[in-house]
Amino acid sequence: MLLRSWMLSKQVWRLLSGGLMSLVLLASCGDSEDIRFPPYDNTAEVEAFWKSKPEFFQWKTPADLPTDLVWEDGAGVPEFGDPRALKGGTFHDYHPTYPPTFRHVGPDGNNTFRGEHHDNITISLVTRHPDEDVWIPGMAEAWAISGDRKTVYFKLDPAVTYSDGVPLEVEDFFMTFYVMLSPHLKDPWYNDWYAKEYKAITKYDDHTFSVTIPEPKPDPIWYAMVPASPQHFYREFGVDFPARYQWRIEPTVGAYEIDAERLKRGRSITLSRVKDWWARDKKHYRYIYNVDFIEYRIIASQDKAFEMFRQGQLDYFLGGLPRYWYDKTEIPEVYRGYIERHVFYNQYPQVTWGVYLNESKPPLDNQDVRIGINYAMDFKKVIEVDFRGDKARMQSTSSGFGKFTNPDVRAKPYDPAKAREYFAKAGFSKAGRDGVLVNAEGKRLSFTLSTFSSGPIVPIMLRLKEGALKAGLEIIVEGLDGTQLYKKLDQKNHELAFAGFGAQPPYPRYWDFYHSDNAWKTGKDGKRELVTDTNNITMTADPELDRIIDRHRSAKTEDEVQELSWQLAKLIEERGNSIPAWESPFYRYLSWRWVRWPKTGNAKKSQLPLDAHMFWIDPAIKEETLNAMEEDRSFGEQLLMHDDYKMP
Amino acid sequence: MKSPRSLGWWLAGFAVLSAVFRLGKLTVPVFKIPFLAGTTVGWVLTVLVGLIGGWLALRGKPKWQLSPLTLKQVRRFRAIGRGHLSLMILLGLVGVACLDDLIVGKRALVVRHEGQWFFPFITDPIPASTFGFEGEGEAEYRTMKRLWAESESSSWALMPLVPYDPMLDTPEIIELLVEKDGVVYQGDGETPYSGRAYTVFREKPTQSRMEWTFRDGLKQGEMRGWDIEGEQVERDTFEEGKSTGYTDYSNGKAAALTDASDGLLRRIVYPPAAPSWSSRHFLGTTSAGGDVLAILFGGWQQAIIASLLFVSFVFFVGVVIGGTLGYFGGLYDLLGQRLIEIWSVLPFLFIVMIVSSIIQPSLVMLVGIIAVFGWMGTTIYLRTAAYRERSRDYVASARLLGAGTGRIIFKHILPNCIAILVTLAPFEVAAIINSLAALDFLGFGLPPEDPSWGRLLREGTEDFNYPWIVSSAFAALTTVLVLVTFVGEAVREAFDPKKFTTYE
């Protein structure tokens, strides 16, 4: 959770900016019988919308299906999870804030609680195997890719029902496009994505349909697996969507839904396992989603949460920071083995923590200055001291993408002498009274580094500042509130920024971060203008890079993607505008003894311990542990290293 | 300072020395004080002090001529032992704070190298190459001193009492481990070591050669080995001191590196480190590795500057606005009072929070914000006093004698209001120190690298595993506040016109 709260993503921003509003709404609106929202039926609108785009929404017959399709159903794929898993019990966890909404789209929808009640729960059309690079059935029991790799065909599993018992229909996917393309959604990102990345959706019969994307992709399934939007739930979707759906709980095809009866507004949220869940006996789902209830208490202070964990009121605690992992675990509960410590080596794209240099702010447009700054960042000491050597230096900002990560790209080590060499090349050769380098015009080598004011980030930045000063570089650390920082980066007003972007499989993304389309545009009067609100916070604009990025974006095979990814990683490293900070090949957590985890520890491709829902609670062990605590009996200290998936 | 004339000589001398040191590019403690707020302000202040000093020295009275009332008040203050002693201690602490780099700082006081004398604490930064070390960056005197001592060199350096800066100075503490009969002990040679330990290359001490994890003095878990370029060349796992799975990634080259290190096991003492006489961290370090005593010292300097600025601002505004409100009265008074009332109910904390989330306030700015919301109390007191004094008979007789408004205000009313200002001053000082600490504690205060008691207090309360942090900050804050309050009470009592007050 800590990891997430650090992340510079829309999540953080939205969560923060939504805080006040949700309070107001909490007070004013409660039930769906709110007089502000009279019953509404959008059936006619939806059908008219579908009709208005006959190219996009198509209805055909099974006879229209191509005959040469090779249907896959993931039959030979190994199982995952642990057959020993027991069903039942309540798992107690915490969350730092109460979510501003239960919607997963629209304003504030992308908040930090979204993963807990939506992303990690829902079952998509096809699902990525948590340990292997293969697809497994989800809502679709079979799928096929067209010869031109632009269309993916799905056969829905007839058993799929929503948590309220309503069966899944093909039109629910059509509904997704209606919702996501609608201006009423008040969420431009989704509007843009669904307008640009999809070309058509076609129904063949009640269980068969296809999704077409505009450009062929190495693996079009990543794009084609659109979520389902239950039509009966979105019947009232209209102008007032954000307010009307603020606290409505969407029926899910996943294993858990927010339990309205156990909900304590502002204090706790409980997810309960769907009764007679359609996938409970399916091959790939029978050993996961084991507990009956997951209770998230809202606890703002991590220290308080740790104390509650220690008392056994919480079952699990994510121990990322050394403070919790080392200092606070010197307690009898750990020595006696009531609380077990786990270290799990995962394989997941890394959050790209790093210092990003804005090339549009001189003298950061000078490559020598940028390279000098690279050498002036003492991340070695940060890793050694602040993280006690538990993290490793990230070598490139596309780390953790497996074969798509270029292993030859290395981050520049801390070397004040080399940094001074590069600064001298750029004209900064004389040291001033305060030790900061000055150029011939008397301009000091001083930059503002914007970052979050929260968490342990600011002390780490101060350590960088101390090291940079030895290389003659002054950094002014500016700790900002998340909203302010996000705004500043969006407006490209920063000089240096310390931030991290959560990356997602399958491939590293370069267009968003380094393409000139996201840096400059030609304004009405023919002048160059800044493009705001994009992820290109380095303001990289290089025609040569652009060409490769365009090819990377439209690459048709994985080999091509790999080759271009490697090239791009190398070129970006040479530009020196993104200074990778640290990464962690593992995550670590503490859990009470009765929380059991699979033999391998967890899912290989999980980002955080709970993502894959592979754990279970063993009541017999719980009783044994509680008895042992009363009798002061020890099980011996447990430090469980799960390094099956450790990369060499 | 027995007479205004001698005071004048002192002031003039101070101004001249300040100017001389400034022109000579030397930052000498005490004499650099006028220049703390920048060059222009510094010169204005220096010239001003010089002129006042000169005038006093030449034209000042040969003897202090204090009114009997003032003398009586001073006598009464001296008689209150607790208050008097507190004031002496406070003044002493202010004096200590003025010594600055002379007692707390990472720059050496005196360096003797190759027959030359250096005084790094008052001069521009001296590059390390001057002393025969590598690099153009500033010399690190602590390291130099240690290396010179180890190599029994003829060069030497004298460090200040606390050899650490209050900000941006977080050196690593590296401890050598002791190996006895196959068991590794901490530096004291008694406690079996648990944790990570490493060896370094002899030629490149910044590069680790091998690193092990120890449990109760025995190797346990993973070992990693690197070559001099920092590429991992080998790994191993240990079970109770015994190797269980060695892998060489470099086709046998790792074996050749065995002699590349000096074989000494080192460990990094992770901050916060407990108080230690040997590392000269007399009050330990913070969780970032900064020296607690140095930070307390820096925080105390900040507190003094903040108090001076705050009290000057509040008194100036109080005298101007309060005095005129009370003296002129009428509609002006009525409107003024209402405005003050409205201003008083603005949620001060929220405004500070909003401001500091948008910009990073500096000390002056922060004091400014607090002062803008903190001047009303003094003003109301001053208004009351002026209102009362102006209807007194002596004011009426002065007016009858033809005195103008200015004369009445400055010669008659203000001197009679001074008792109020003097009495309020200590409490205003306590208020600003408290407010600054509170804002820093909440995270809305000074820039993050600035030394601050509030931040120290917060760091300490976040984790009670390191009691030296919270206890130092708490002790410093309470001591100063208690002393200031004692002084305030004594002043109030000394200025009370009634010697004995009985409450009915």
Q: Tens digits of per-residue pLDDT, A103-120?
A: 999 888 877 788 899 989
Quick check: B133 pLDDT over 90? no
Burial class (CB in 10 A: 0-12, 13-18, 19+), B416: middle
DSSP string, A486-550: HHHHHTT--SEEEE-----SSS---HHHH-GGGTEEE-TTS-EEE--SSS-TT----HHHHHHHH
pLDDT confidence of A27, banded at 50, 70, 90? very low
- Three-class secondary structure of residue A432 per DSSP: coil
With contact defined as beta carbons under 8 Å apart, do B8 and B56 qualify?
Answer: yes
- The backbone torsions φ and ψ at residue B446, rounded to the nearest 5 degrees and listed phi first, read -65, 165
Residue type, A561: V
Quick check: A49 pLDDT over 80? yes
pLDDT of residue A648: 62
Its sign, for the CA torsion B323, B325, B326, B329, is positive
Interface of A with B in 452-481 (CB under 8 A): 453, 458-459, 461-463, 465-466, 469-472, 477-481
Helices (H) and strands (E) in chain B, counts: 16, 14
Its sign, for the CA torsion B256, B257, B260, B261, is negative
pLDDT of residue A3: 36
pLDDT confidence of A204, banded at 50, 70, 90? very high
Contacts of A471 in chain B (CB under 8 A): 137
Provide the number of CB pairs (under 8 Å) joining chain A to chain B.
Answer: 79
pLDDT of residue A15: 34
Distances in Å between the alpha carbon of A490 and those of A487, A497, A537, A606, A632? 5, 11, 7, 29, 56
pLDDT confidence of A28, banded at 50, 70, 90? very low
Strand (E) or helix (H) holding A369: helix A367-376
From the list A130, A123, A154, the residue with the least C-alpha distance to A141 is A154
From the list A446, A461, A456, A454, the residue with the least C-alpha distance to A354 is A461
| pTM for this predicted structure | 0.80
Query: Can you list the positions of beta strands (E) in B220-368?
Result: 221-226, 232-239, 242-243, 247-248, 266-269
Quick check: A386 pLDDT over 90? no
For A220-261, the pLDDT digits (tens) are 998 899 999 999 999 999 999 999 999 999 999 999 999 999
Residue type, A401: F
Contacts of A417 in chain B (CB under 8 A): 134-136
Shortest Cα distance, chain A CAs vs residue B411, angstroms = 48
- The backbone torsions φ and ψ at residue B66, rounded to the nearest 5 degrees and listed phi first, read -95, 150
Lowest-confidence range among A41-55, B175-189, B327-341?
A: B175-189
Q: Centre a 10 Å sphere on the Cβ of residue A148 and count the other Cβ atoms it contains.
A: 10
pLDDT of residue B443: 79
For B453-480, the pLDDT digits (tens) are 999 998 888 777 789 999 999 999 999 9
Greatest alpha-carbon span in chain A: 82
pLDDT of residue B201: 87
pLDDT confidence of A522, banded at 50, 70, 90? confident
- The whole-angstrom separation of Cα A351 and Cα A608 is 12
Tokens, residue A484 = 């302010």
Average pLDDT over residues A5-15: 36
Q: ipTM of this model?
A: 0.80
pLDDT confidence of B409, banded at 50, 70, 90? confident
Judge: B357–A480 Cβ closer than 8 Å, yes or no. yes
For A390-449, the pLDDT digits (tens) are 888 999 988 888 889 898 899 999 999 999 999 999 999 888 778 899 999 989 999 999
Tokens, residue A574 = 């040479």
Shortest Cα distance, chain B CAs vs residue A49, angstroms = 44
Q: Centre a 10 Å sphere on the Cβ of residue A600 and count the other Cβ atoms it contains.
A: 17
Quick check: B37 pLDDT over 60? yes
pLDDT of residue B504: 58
Average pLDDT over residues A190-217: 91
pLDDT of residue A29: 44
- The whole-angstrom separation of Cα B463 and Cα B444 is 20
A430 CB near a chain B CB, below 8 Å? no
Contacts of B127 in chain A (CB under 8 A): 431
- The whole-angstrom separation of Cα A124 and Cα A137 is 9
pLDDT of residue A358: 95
Quick check: A348 pLDDT over 70? yes
Quick check: B212 pLDDT over 90? no
Bridge partners, residue B226, by sequence: B232
Q: Which residues of A11-50 are buried (b: 16+ CB within 10 A; e: fewer)?
A: bbbbbbbbeeebeebeeeeeeeeeeebeeeebeeebeebb
- The whole-angstrom separation of Cα A27 and Cα A237 is 23
For B55-107, the pLDDT digits (tens) are 999 988 888 888 888 888 899 999 999 999 999 999 999 999 999 999 999 99
Quick check: A16 pLDDT over 60? no
Interface of B with A in 230-249 (CB under 8 A): 230
Average per-residue pLDDT for chain A: 88
Average pLDDT over residues A615-634: 94
Lowest-confidence range among A359-363, A375-379, A566-570, B446-450?
A: B446-450
Judge: B449–A477 Cβ closer than 8 Å, yes or no. yes
Strand bridging mode A446-452 / A474-480: parallel
DSSP state of A444: B
Residue keyed to tokens 């705050």: B310
The minimal CB distance from A431 to the residues B125, B270, B357 is found for B125
Quick check: B377 pLDDT over 50? yes
Contacts of B287 in chain A (CB under 8 A): 323, 459
Q: A14: Cβ–Cβ under 8 A, 6 or more apart, which residues?
A: A100, A107, A108, A109, A110, A111
Strand bridging mode A256-258 / A126-128: unpaired
Most confident of A262-276, B133-147, B263-277: A262-276
Lowest-confidence range among A262-266, A382-386, B162-166?
A: A382-386
Give residue A632's region: left, alpha or beta (phi > 0; psi -120 to 50): left
Interface of B with A in 284-313 (CB under 8 A): 287-289
Contacts of A435 in chain B (CB under 8 A): 125, 137-138
DSSP string, A268-317: EEEEEEPTT-TTTTSTTTTTSS--SEEEEEE---HHHHHHHHHHTSSSEE
With contact defined as beta carbons under 8 Å apart, do A277 and A72 qualify?
Answer: no
Mutate to test the interface with A, among B136, B174, B267, B439 (most CBs of A within 10 A): B136
- The whole-angstrom separation of Cα B460 and Cα B295 is 13
Bridge partners, residue B99, by sequence: none
pLDDT of residue A4: 35
Q: Specify the higher pLDDT residue, B136 or A79.
A: A79
With contact defined as beta carbons under 8 Å apart, do B4 and B64 qualify?
Answer: yes
Average pLDDT over residues B2-20: 92
Tokens, residue A83 = 């057959």
From the list B247, B402, B353, B370, the residue with the least C-alpha distance to B306 is B370
Q: Percentage of chain B with pLDDT > 70?
A: 98
With contact defined as beta carbons under 8 Å apart, do B310 and B367 qualify?
Answer: yes
For B40-54, the pLDDT digits (tens) are 999 999 999 999 999
For B235, the closest chain A residue by CA position comes to A648
